[in-house]
């Protein structure tokens, strides 16, 4: 009996640890549209490349801290993405309302990026409610 209790405790702790690790890995979807709260969590991890795909003029009117401005409407968008971003590192995208970032997400997927988060409602949504 004395040997069974530690064995049961070990099994319970191991299963709990495995379940925790699995849930933390799958906390965010691998690619796609995410709500503002999830987007905030993703960019707070500091392991993401934050990209504002609006025009430079829009970017200057306000942007999310630490965002890189890569204009989706620029004819060199793909080349700038290739030379600026790392494919195997997560990317978080946003634009004004969500249309350009959705298109940018499709382009990045086509280019081989695997983990891409798109802010639902764009920068307008980001600014709409307090942090």
What span, in angstroms and rounded, lies between the C-alpha atoms of 100 and 118? 10
Query: Is 80 exceeded by the pLDDT of residue 70?
Result: yes
What span, in angstroms and rounded, lies between the C-alpha atoms of 128 and 109? 29
The arithmetic mean of pLDDT across residues 89-112, rounded, is: 97
Query: Is 80 exceeded by the pLDDT of residue 94?
Result: yes
Domain ranges of the chain: 28-128
Dump pLDDT digits (tens) for 107-122: 999 999 999 999 999 9
Q: Which of 87, 28, 96, 106 is nearest to 64 (CA)?
A: 96
Q: Is 22 exposed, middle or buried (0-12, 13-18, 19+ CB in 10 A)?
A: exposed
Both tokens of residue 10? Answer: 């070990």
pLDDT at res. 24? 37
pLDDT at res. 47? 87
Residues whose CB falls within 8 Å of the CB of residue 55, separated by 6 or more in sequence, listed in order: 71, 73
49 strand-pairing partners: 91
> Please, what is the average pLDDT of the chain?
84
Percent of the chain with pLDDT over 70: 76
Rg (CA), the chain: 19
Both tokens of residue 73? Answer: 């409407």
pLDDT at res. 27? 63
pLDDT at res. 128? 86
When the candidates are 3.40.50.10440, 3.40.250.10, 3.40.50.150, 1.10.40.30, the CATH number that belongs to 28-128 is 3.40.250.10
The arithmetic mean of pLDDT across residues 74-84, rounded, is: 97
What span, in angstroms and rounded, lies between the C-alpha atoms of 71 and 90? 19
Quote the pTM value. Answer: 0.77
Residues whose CB falls within 8 Å of the CB of residue 95, separated by 6 or more in sequence, listed in order: 52, 53, 54, 72, 101, 104, 122, 123
pLDDT at res. 20? 34
Dump pLDDT digits (tens) for 17-65: 433 333 333 466 778 999 999 999 999 987 899 999 999 999 999 999 9
């Amino acid at each position: 009996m004395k040997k069974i209790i530690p064995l049961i405790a070990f099994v319970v702790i191991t299963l709990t640890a495995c379940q925790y690790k699995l849930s933390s890995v799958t906390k965010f979807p691998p690619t796609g549209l995410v709500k503002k709260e999830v987007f905030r969590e993703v960019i707070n991890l500091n392991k993401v490349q934050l990209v504002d795909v609006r025009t430079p003029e829009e970017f200057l009117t306000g942007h999310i801290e630490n965002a890189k401005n890569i204009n989706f409407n620029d004819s060199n968008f793909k080349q700038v993405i290739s030379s600026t971003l790392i494919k195997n590192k997560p990317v978080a995208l946003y634009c004004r309302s969500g249309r350009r970032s959705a298109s940018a997400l499709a382009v990045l997927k086509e280019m081989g990026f695997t983990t891409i988060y798109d802010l639902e409602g764009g920068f307008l949504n980001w600014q709409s409610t307090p942090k």
